[in-house]
Amino acid sequence: MDPRISLITLGVEDMKRSRAFYETLGWTASPQSNDDVTFFQAGGSIFGLYGRAGLAEDAQVKDTPASFRGVSLSYNARDRAEVDAVLTEALDDGAQLIKAAEEVFWGGYSGYFADPDGHLWEVAHNPFWTIGEDGTIVLDPST
């Protein structure tokens, strides 16, 4: 198996609301999107929205909501100012602030917001990682 993530799919309660939320953040839905599924190009990966009940059915698991899903998505910023700007943009577009940006124990700066379905997004500046002009992130700049 190649070490890559091709598609991240979030189960959502209201497709129109969730799609509109991500579009207000500046994401462009693919023409392959429809009333049941929405796809966004996210750098070298695809980010998808799918009905929560349908996603649970497809995976053959019970659709039982939890207050903490044990998962967060992350947007890595080039600097602290971008962290603050992205958090502000998300809040202006309807996100809920979970944790204001602050210096963190590992030497970076981060905060969290939740999208309309409660999915956590960390917005972070990690001074130890390199972000290319195209948004590609590299753990070790020598690789």
Q: Whole-model pTM above 0.85?
A: no
Assigned CATH topology for domain 72-143: 2,3-Dihydroxybiphenyl 1,2-Dioxygenase; domain 1 (3.10.180)
Domain with CATH 3.10.180.10 in the chain: 1-63, 72-143
Tens digits of residue pLDDT in 80-126: 999 999 999 999 999 999 999 999 988 999 999 999 998 999 999 99
Mean pLDDT of 42-68: 85
From the options 3.40.50.1220, 3.30.1020.10, 3.90.550.10, 3.10.180.10, give the CATH code of 1-63: 3.10.180.10
Dihedrals phi, psi of 139, to nearest 5 degrees: -65, -45
